[in-house]
Amino acid sequence: MASVDRTPKPSFTKALFLGNTHSELVMPYPLLDGEERVKVHSLAASAREYLTGTYDPWKAEEQRWVGDDTIRDLGERGLLGLFVDEQYGGQGLSQTGYCRVMEEFGRADGALAVVMGVHQSIGTKPIYLYGTDDQKARWLPDLAAGRKLAAFVLTEPNVGSDAYNLETWAERQSDGSWILNGEKRWIGNGSKDVLTVFARSDLGHVALVVEKGTEGLSTGPRFDTLGLRANNLQRVHFDNVRVPAENLLGEPGDGFRIAMNTLNNGRMSMGTSIAGGMKAFLGYTLDHANERTQFDRKLIDFEMVEEKAAWMNTQIYGLESMSYLTTGLVDRGVADFSLESAMTKVVASDVGWKALNKAFQVHGGTAFMNDHPLSKALRDFRIFPIFEGANDVMRAYVALNGIKALSDGLPDVRSLTVGAPGKAIGVLAPYVAERVNRALRPEKLAGADPVLAKQVSAVAEQVARLRDRAEWSLRKHGKKVQEKQLMQKRLADAASGIYAQVAVISRATATRARDGAPATAAEITVAAEFCDSSARQVGRDLRSLEVNADAVTKKIGAAVRESNGYAFEL
């Protein structure tokens, strides 16, 4: 009997930085099937029926809350505990199934999507993932039914992306309870019912569940936001709040890990919610372009309008493929999906914003009116590149994790000293400069449909170049690599582009096998175009690691800082 290789593999994306493509992690594509597919379609249809027939996003914006009646109705339809086990009143969906239903909220209203995401993706999730059986039985039934709403309480006035250095303090008492003091801000559902609060203590970071009405807990004043007006965003204050011992999630010292793992899960539903929003933008664009006549022609007949619709269609396909490949990693039990989750969030928020602007441009002045849905979306969507991990920070996180994985595999380069890159961006130790002689052989995706052979070969070449350029950057900059954020951005964007192409190839292969060549001809065209376009961008990102204007940019930046503004007069 042949021996089985049980050596732990790195995450798919970390492996890309090593020049490897672990096909078994991404092939075949995780298509929904069987009973769950039927259940997910039923729940998605129920959500769409309610959101298009009953829910009024304009009323919610005017009243600055999605409405208690909305929460009640969604709870009765089983839409507030989508991933919660059935024994606690939930639907028991996989990560993929959950994110598919969340797409409907993103299609209908960005504000409601955020409220739902805060409640389920990050509010309820830590209890679901880390709660004891007693804790789950205590809180999950009410949360799944919508009788209570959950909040994720992490951000502070002086702590945003640097989430490790919390100032909120929890002091353990002799009876095992905790006394909590501090202030949090920008907390969705912060004035609601079940708050998972993160704090520091002498025993390390802790995650504590605090319930509404607890003595010493107060909220307000509420934040007045540009968009997402129906999202109840609060300040939360803790003044000697006593938290019972049985409200601790995990063990003392687990709090930071719980927070980061929860956010890794939460970013996925943001990706699919934004995909839902993009579908709405495309729908608005086609409706308007087919109705509006200029110069005796429909707008859709003009090439620059048609190009915008084609671009949106192609990018939705790419984002969908990337998002659901990532949820599939979770459902397959892959332990490390943090980089894929981060990349999905960055790509979704960036491409969603571009799609919104293209749709806005097609509508012209019509969309600039305050009562147009694209006007509302413009206000709502701007926050997405910022929250649940600012995109600049996420790019640095992806690149430096990839470089760390690479440095661990080089015999003449000592490893990164950071054990948990979320705590700090990281520091590289000095290295010996001699180059290791090696030959990179492009590794191709196994099992891809031959119709995409050109794209598969292109991905293999890009993976080899990513490895080569990452090592070049590591050897050139040494321990200063953590300061080279423009380098980090290019590496992260290249890795994201490769991952998106892999997702598209995997998905198109699976749907072609399921539905047959004639039925998927149009899909293959979109898939190939997405991959070809993305490959060109990856090439530009990797080339710009060597050929760029960074030195000039730094010089101009220093001069602007010195002059404290624009210094040139006519």
State pLDDT tens for residues 173-226.
999 999 999 999 999 999 999 999 999 999 999 999 999 999 999 999 999 999
CA distance 466 to 542: 7
Task: Map residue 54 onto helix, strand or coil.
Answer: coil
Name, in order, each residue with C-beta under 8 angstroms of 381's C-beta and a sequence gap of 6 or more: 110, 227, 274, 277, 352, 353, 356
Does residue 258 or residue 477 have the better pLDDT?
258
What are the tokens at 222? Answer: 């509420």
* For range 287-303, the mean pLDDT: 97
Please report the pLDDT score of residue 478 as a whole number: 84
CA distance 334 to 10: 10
Name, in order, each residue with C-beta under 8 angstroms of 428's C-beta and a sequence gap of 6 or more: 403, 407, 416, 417, 474, 477, 478, 479, 480, 481, 482
Contact 67, 237 (CB under 8 A): no
CA distance 83 to 96: 10
Please report the pLDDT score of residue 48 as a whole number: 98
What are the tokens at 345? Answer: 């969030």
Q: Which residues pair with 298 in a beta bridge?
A: 293
Please report the pLDDT score of residue 409 as a whole number: 73
The distance from CA 37 to its chain's CA centroid, rounded to whole angstroms, is: 23
Q: How many CA atoms lie within 13 A of 157 on its CB side?
A: 7
What are the tokens at 109? Answer: 């209203």
Contact 306, 300 (CB under 8 A): yes
Confidence category of residue 487, pLDDT binned at 50, 70, 90: very high
Please report the pLDDT score of residue 545 as a whole number: 96
In one-letter notation, the amino acid at residue 326 is: T
Per-residue pLDDT of 216-253, as tens digits, reads 999 999 999 999 999 999 999 999 999 999 999 999 99
Please report the pLDDT score of residue 237 as a whole number: 98
Q: Model-level pTM? A: 0.92
Q: Which residues pair with 495 in a beta bridge?
A: none
35 labelled catalytic = no
* Mean of the per-residue pLDDT values of the chain: 92
pLDDT at 260 over 90: yes
Confidence category of residue 265, pLDDT binned at 50, 70, 90: confident
Please report the pLDDT score of residue 410 as a whole number: 74
Name, in order, each residue with C-beta under 8 angstroms of 18's C-beta and a sequence gap of 6 or more: 10, 405, 406, 409, 467
Please report the pLDDT score of residue 439 as a whole number: 44
Q: Distance of CA 195 to CAs 148, 180, 235, Å?
A: 11, 13, 13
Strand (E) or helix (H) holding 235? strand 233-243
Residue 242, judged by CB atoms within 10 A of its CB (0-12, 13-18, 19+), counts as middle
Residue 217 has φ and ψ, to the nearest 5°, of -90, 125
Please report the pLDDT score of residue 428 as a whole number: 31
Per-residue pLDDT of 365-414, as tens digits, reads 999 999 999 999 999 999 999 988 899 999 999 999 999 999 887 765 54
Residue 109 is classified by DSSP as -
Per-residue pLDDT of 79-88, as tens digits, reads 999 999 999 9
Does residue 524 or residue 417 have the better pLDDT?
524
For tokens 């991959």, name the residue.
Answer: 531
Closest by Cα among 505, 422, 416, 412 to 463: 505
Confidence category of residue 415, pLDDT binned at 50, 70, 90: very low
Domains of the chain with CATH codes: 34-149 (1.10.540.10), 152-252 (2.40.110.10), 257-381 (1.20.140.10), 391-547 (1.20.140.10)
Confidence category of residue 33, pLDDT binned at 50, 70, 90: confident
CA distance 465 to 543: 10
Q: Among the options 61, 388, 471, 529, which is catalytic?
A: 388
Per-residue pLDDT of 331-351, as tens digits, reads 999 989 999 999 999 999 999
What are the tokens at 541? Answer: 């990102």
Confidence category of residue 443, pLDDT binned at 50, 70, 90: confident
CA distance 29 to 515: 14
Name, in order, each residue with C-beta under 8 angstroms of 551's C-beta and a sequence gap of 6 or more: none
Q: How many CA atoms lie within 13 A of 206 on its CB side?
A: 27
In one-letter notation, the amino acid at residue 22 is: H
Q: Which residues pair with 199 in a beta bridge?
A: 206
pLDDT at 6 over 70: no
Q: Which residues pair with 211 in a beta bridge?
A: 194
Per-residue pLDDT of 129-181, as tens digits, reads 999 999 999 999 999 999 999 999 999 999 887 889 999 999 999 999 999 99
CA distance 91 to 74: 13
Does a cis peptide bond (omega within 30 degrees of 0) precede residue 252? no
Helix residue ranges per DSSP H, 332-429: 338-363, 365-368, 373-381, 391-408
Please report the pLDDT score of residue 441 as a whole number: 61
CA distance 544 to 112: 40
pLDDT at 566 over 90: yes
Residue 199 has φ and ψ, to the nearest 5°, of -150, 165
